[in-house]
Structure 1
């Protein structure tokens, strides 16, 4: 496929726009779809001299309200540029109808390793897996330490209690995107609603932080860039830890679908990951089980939405594969198990 044929962008119009951004480029630009996401679509932009950039656009088809907001993602990345949070630099954002039918975001290409396939995870030494695994909660601690005032992010989202907002939003998404009835999920929604812990603080929350959404150093395994900020909001920081744990199956568990990387030898277990975060931040672990259950519940809702979108719009399918009914049921079952043990 030539760059002219790349689905989702007008290569010539986008090249002209990039030419107005004050970036040094050599010769014609090429565009290639990269990444495994079925959410915002990502393209690698290259020039003849080896220059590389990353372009993002929303997915195809009908979008749920507030999802896949590329302009919002650009705002967040720009605000984080001078903080301790590792993020790619933003070069430009456009919704000019002469360039594109949807908003486009151009940002820095961060070199490093993205562990988004089992083959990559399996190629790592146990020592490197451990280094990557322990860097994840430390990176979350940096995100949650961001000063909302100095970054201008205090008005990014509602300051109302986060758990209730999440339950309302994602149960609404479930109703819009479900492909079948799932009484166990509906029951879990009710139990979570009845068990919300008191929110003690309001911080930046990434909203979708997991192994596939970071770039790590080839040399050390440390996170060099946190990606995919489209679900970023303000809320309870433990929500991000719960999500990370939800995406972190242990040996013998089946919630990882076709990407059970964390079950490989060397990756730390959930207890150690949570311990690193709590040691780093001094936060109270009491509410963590609630957020772990809500994380699994939310991953199940998101997976159902991805399955629905791939069914409705085959163009949205990506190399990561589409979630299956079996995996979504496994996620709900695991959430119910943890909830029962935590008295939720």
Structure 2
């Protein structure tokens, strides 16, 4: 179901009540980047804003919870994590017929290519260091002190995630992939004991989910908190570090095959060591964490591929391309878990 035009008068009245100081709505324009939660630029006499909404239509109960995004950003803004300021959250019976929240519009740069061809060597190093710093700051937030003690479930995070994504993968399987079967078995056999580490995890921590200052390495905002929860901090770190291993000449936009030293981009080992130094978190069981991250992404992409086959994908052509990546991810994970990569 596509977005329908908004009742601008009704929305203007609602925003006036919801957003402090709001006045004079002029325009609402959808951003053309592919967020699963539709996101809009709002222009008014009182300024420019961002409206992030649930998609229209029938949704899975646990999906597209924009109220969780609103809650976590509101909490983290008080805890030294760069997030947009949030102004208000609507109910499901809003002027647009679904829940949404409004936040400030952050102007700056979004980098889509991790090789950062648009900046020089020194700035690349600084940008990667800025990302590293924000991740360490996020994982240093005390969830209880931030009012987020109930933001996720208790218990072994990796065990819950392996169970969830194994079930999702099996339900969406379209062919036999021995590498995926072997990977799922290996993850269960090598599951580390729960070390008790719990932090707010972003869930999709990567370069293009950050807005950087127009000049320099400052991360002005970490955005797209749809997958955030309470979990193990190394899940975020290993998810980001997949980028060092994924091929650059692919839809993954990874760093694999590039001369990272020549580009000024830190090695994976140096990036991990700097994170550990900043956060005080020991990086143990790294082979497991990386293998898990490759497995999780493969399971997610298999679901996208299955929906394309079933005729339910929003972009079928792209979904079919994504489906081809599942065997590649599973193969790379098998190389990592066997010590060959």
> What range describes the TM-score normalised by the shorter chain of this pair?
0.7 to 0.9
Residues 23-51 of structure 1: CA deviation (Å, up to 9, x unaligned): 445533322222533422222112367x2
The separation in 1 between residues aligned to 2:177 and 2:35, in whole angstroms, is 23
Summarize the alignment of residues 123-202 of structure 1 with structure 2, pairs less than 5 Å apart.
Answer: 123-200=118-195, 201-202=197-198
The separation in 1 between residues aligned to 2:5 and 2:83, in whole angstroms, is 24
Gaps of 5+ in 1: 1-5
Query: In the alignment, is residue 97 of structure 1 matched against residue 97 of structure 2?
Result: no
Summarize the alignment of residues 249-268 of structure 1 with structure 2, pairs less than 5 Å apart.
Answer: 249=245, 253=247, 257=251, 259-260=253-254, 263=258, 265-268=263-266
Which of 281, 284, 299 aligns to 2:282? It is: 284
Query: How much has 1:282 moved relative to structure 2?
Result: 2.9
Summarize the alignment of residues 328-339 of structure 1 with structure 2, pairs less than 5 Å apart.
Answer: 328-339=326-337
Contact 2:66 2:100 in 1 (8 A): yes
Change (3 A) 1:183 1:204: same
Contact 1:38 1:318 in 2 (8 A): no
Which of 9, 14, 19 aligns to 2:16? It is: 19
Alignment-derived partner of residue 3 in structure 1? none
Residues 66-116 of structure 1: CA deviation (Å, up to 9, x unaligned): 222111111111111211111111111112425233321211111111112
Which of 244, 267, 270 aligns to 2:240? It is: 244
Query: In the alignment, is residue 121 of structure 1 matched against residue 116 of structure 2?
Result: yes
Change (3 A) 1:204 1:330: same
Could you tell me the TM-score, scaled by structure 1's length?
Answer: 0.85
Q: CA RMSD in A?
A: 2.9
Contact 2:31 2:39 in 1 (8 A): yes
Residues 150-191 of structure 1: CA deviation (Å, up to 9, x unaligned): 211111111111000111122223234444443322321111
Change (3 A) 1:39 1:132: same
Alignment-derived partner of residue 205 in structure 2? 209
- How many residue pairs match? The answer is 332
Query: How much has 1:128 moved relative to structure 2?
Result: 2.1
- Give the SS at the match of 2:245: coil
The separation in 2 between residues aligned to 1:10 and 1:261, in whole angstroms, is 41
> Which stretch shifts more, 257-266 or 298-307?
257-266
The separation in 2 between residues aligned to 1:307 and 1:332, in whole angstroms, is 15
Whose relative contact order is higher, 1 or 2, with alpha carbons under 8 Å and at least 6 apart? 1
Summarize the alignment of residues 50-65 of structure 1 with structure 2, pairs less than 5 Å apart.
Answer: 51-59=47-55, 63-65=59-61
- Give the SS at the match of 1:289: helix
The separation in 1 between residues aligned to 2:327 and 2:298, in whole angstroms, is 8
Alignment-derived partner of residue 232 in structure 1? 228
- Give the SS at the match of 2:338: helix
The separation in 2 between residues aligned to 1:239 and 1:137, in whole angstroms, is 14
Which of 39, 43, 46 aligns to 1:46? It is: 43
